[in-house]
Structure 1
Amino acid sequence: MITVGGIGFLFEGITRQDAKATLSIEPKSVMVTNLTDTSFTFTWQTDEPATGTILVTSTGGKKYSSFDQRDITGKMGKYLTHSVTVRTLAPSTTYDVTVLSNGKKYPIDKKSFSITTLPTLASDAPLFDPAFGSIKTTGGLPAEGALIYISLEGSQTLSTLVGASGSWIIPLSLLRTQDGAAYITQQERINETLVVQLGSIESRVTSDTLNDSPIPDIILGETYDFRGRDAKKTTPATLAQKQVSPTIKPKQVVLGAISDKLTGGVAFTAPIQGATLSSTKPLITGIGIPGKTVTITIGITEPTIGSTIVGKDGVWRFTPK
């Protein structure tokens, strides 16, 4: 059993150095990120495109599966990068995890990963804006599917996938310390590190919390230092004022539009364009700045309009009535 000893932990030694083609779908650079009291994200890469699923077993023996975040349409795709998030877990509970790559179980020695969720915190979360930006390849194309990891000084590691337009966004409102025992303390400027990976190509970016909303455009494979640019100057007081200000115009999201593009600090994540809906009242979700109002318009000829508020976790949810 391989036990996670930290938040944003890299499982060393899972990849076997073997030239056989049958091992090209074996998970590499396995990471556990976005660890909270009720959820975590598993990320990895493969040499060849492969489907990705994880099997989770609770201490009580209950088993269930979680799929890549791009597979919410119900059809499993094959990717070089993989990101699977497990939700609705119990706090301070240990779970065993097995990765399925093209249906084959890993680690291949039949030992599983062991992950323990964090305890629930009673204190208020910090008022950080989400970090967001855009990443392109050297050819000027969106770096779709690239894995991006972000951490602040002394914090846990968070992650996401770069979307089809090259945009990405990571809420920082529930960011904890590296040991998970407390939320990160709000300061005017905190240095942060980003690592972007797509296959063998990697970018390393140094920035800070005054220059991450947005982070300037990134070309995959390049190294950057955006610290000290003072792209924005905010304090906890101005952040709080901004989040409750009645002068903020609601952001509109049209169902079926590009889902990963950030507009006014709000991004639409699900359902994705082309998804088959099993209900006339689907759950619509996205991420953004906590406290902001999101207005959703469904349909064109006879539109249904509703609104919701971005939660403290940086996630908004809406179901049509």
Structure 2
Amino acid sequence: MYSDLYTHSRFNPLKLLTTIAIVIVAGLGMFLFTQDSTPTRASKKALLDHQIVNMSPKQFGVFWQVDEADEGWILYGKNPKNLDSIAFDERDSGGEKEKRVYHFALLRNLDPSSTYYYKIISNNEVVQSENTDIFNAQTLEESDQATSLSPMYGSAMYSNNDPAVQVLSMLLIGNAHPIISVSGSTGEWLIPLQYIVDINSRKTVPVRENDPIIIQIFNDTQRSMVRSTFERSRPLPESIILGNNYSFIADSNVLSAQDSNPSLKESSQTQVEIRYPKQDAVVPGVAPIIKGYGIPREYVNIHIDSKPEFSARARVDENGEWDIPVKTKILPGTYTLTATTKGKNGKTVQLSRRFTLIKSGEQVLGESNEATPSGTLTPSVNPSGILSPTPELSITVIVTTSTPIPPPPVSGLNIVPYIFAGVGFVVLGFGVLLLL
């Protein structure tokens, strides 16, 4: 009887079948898991906006907007036929994806001066735009020097004083790549300024402390447009209440369709002047309003150094006013407008204005109330923001600077290790089989 324990065969068909089943299930599970990260089916979602942001030698970001809220992420790699890494929306954590209209993903730990290809994934389907479903961007060269500018920061809250958590803050500077950050648990946000890069030339954009900027702070349902300068944004003079627009520029240079003060409509028949755009104006849209004063019945020649260049001619009316409609779309960027005419003494007069065109808030972020002339601040020790169209209303702000909390980093996810893990399961299964 005891001899049977030694002479009995150790082979057990049930154990063999069980081991094979475990290997098959494990391998199939890993296969399905990795297949979930590489969708091929085309999405019906419309891509309303798509921009490269946060450009640097070792990373860049992708910002995009779809027509309906979805779960979105980025699939990327150096080889367009082998996109083996994943970057999730910066606000998604722990593998949990949230449906949103606006998405922002950072592609980190990249090689300098390298081209990366990526696909935008919506609900596990590939988003197409302009007859393609794959896009690319190139990182900056390692030799590109970072600026020494201090970061911008501030805080955002809702109208009930709750902190605006996980809202996007987008910095717009002329024709440079936008820079985006995500607010933390206290509503605080921080925008680094190491690399301000021109979209076309890929060169660093020189900036001055008093240059006008636009900061868009928004989520899927609310947004705020903040007009400021570099020096007045460290931090912003006050917390931003989401849904309100602010201007922290002493002399508001943002173009309005009409004069804010009827007295400004007084024209002088001996005055030669460009009324709009103002010097260093920040103009939302693609067609600035161009108006001015001149000598009645004289001609005014206008030139803008855009690409393609814009030129036009107008005649000054009997009231000494002239205007030129812009029917051609001008791309976002910083330009110089030159007006040439004759003065009272018959001599040629040449005037110029430097202005910046940006995407309008409606095109980028949806419907919202526009900032009004009453949003302009007057210089004071404690700058104040005007939150309603009533000119008499002003708010005195006591500025308290708190340490901004940047959002935690989220690294891209490489799916290659999962493939190796699946192979490992297979090897492990055969090892168990050999031990039977």
Q: The TM-score by the shorter chain falls in which range?
A: 0.5 to 0.7
The verdict on how the C-alpha distance between 1:230 and 1:67 changes in structure 2, with shifts beyond 3 A counting, is farther
Supply the AA of the counterpart residue of 1:217: S
Of residues 224, 239, 242, the one that matches 1:217 is: 239
Q: How far has the Cα of 1:148 moved from its partner?
A: 2.0
Look up the equivalent residue of 2:70 and give its one-letter code.
Answer: A
Offset from partner CA, 1:289-321 (integer Å, 9 cap, x none)? xxxxxxxxxxxxxxxxxxxxxxxxxxxxxxxxx
SS at match of 1:195: strand
Is 1:149–1:157's contact at 8 Å kept on the other side of the alignment? yes
Question: 2: CA distance between counterparts of 1:231 and 1:85?
Answer: 38
Aligned-CA RMSD value: 3.2
Which stretches in structure 2 are left out of the alignment for 5+ residues?
A: 1-42, 251-378, 383-400, 411-436
Q: 1:192: which partner in 2?
A: 213
**Where do 1:1-321 residues align within 5 Å?**
27-46=47-66, 49-59=69-79, 61-63=81-83, 64-107=85-128, 111-120=132-141, 122=143, 124-179=145-200, 181-185=202-206, 187-215=208-236, 216-228=238-250, 263-264=402-403, 267=406, 269-270=408-409
Higher fraction of strand? 1
Q: Secondary structure at the match of 1:269?
A: coil
Q: Structure 1: any 5+ residue segments left out of the alignment?
A: 1-21, 233-261, 272-321
Larger helix percent: 2
> Once the two structures are superposed, what CA deviation does each residue of 1:208-240 show, in whole Å capped at 9, x if it has no partner?
0111111122122222111245889xxxxxxxx
Higher relative contact order (CA 8 A, sep 6+): 2
The TM-score with structure 1 as length reference comes to: 0.58
Question: Is this contact kept in 2: 1:94–1:115, CA < 8 A?
Answer: yes
Aligned residues: 220
Runs of at least 4 residues off by over 6 Å: none
Shift of 1:200: 4.7
Gap change, CA 1:219 and 1:175, over 3 Å in 2: same
What is the deviation of 1:26? Answer: 5.3
**How far is the alpha carbon of 1:150 from its aligned partner?**
0.3
CA contact (8 A) 1:45 1:199 kept: no
Tell me the distance in 2 between the aligned counterparts of 1:172 and 1:107. 32
- Mapped to 1, the partners of 2:241 and 2:117 lie a distance apart of 37
The structure-2 alpha-carbon separation of the partners of 1:135 and 1:266, relative to structure 1 and needing over 3 Å to count, comes to closer
Letter of the aligned partner of 1:29 in structure 2? D
1:101-151 alpha-carbon deviations (Å, 9 max, x no partner): 221221278722422214315354221111111122233333333322102
Change (3 A) 1:123 1:138: same
Greater Rg by CA: 2
| Aligned position for 1:240 | none
Q: What is the deviation of 1:183? A: 2.5
Given that 2:89 and 2:105 are in contact with CA atoms closer than 8 Å, whether structure 1 keeps it comes out as yes
Would the aligned equivalents of 1:90 and 1:117 in 2 still touch at CA under 8 Å? no
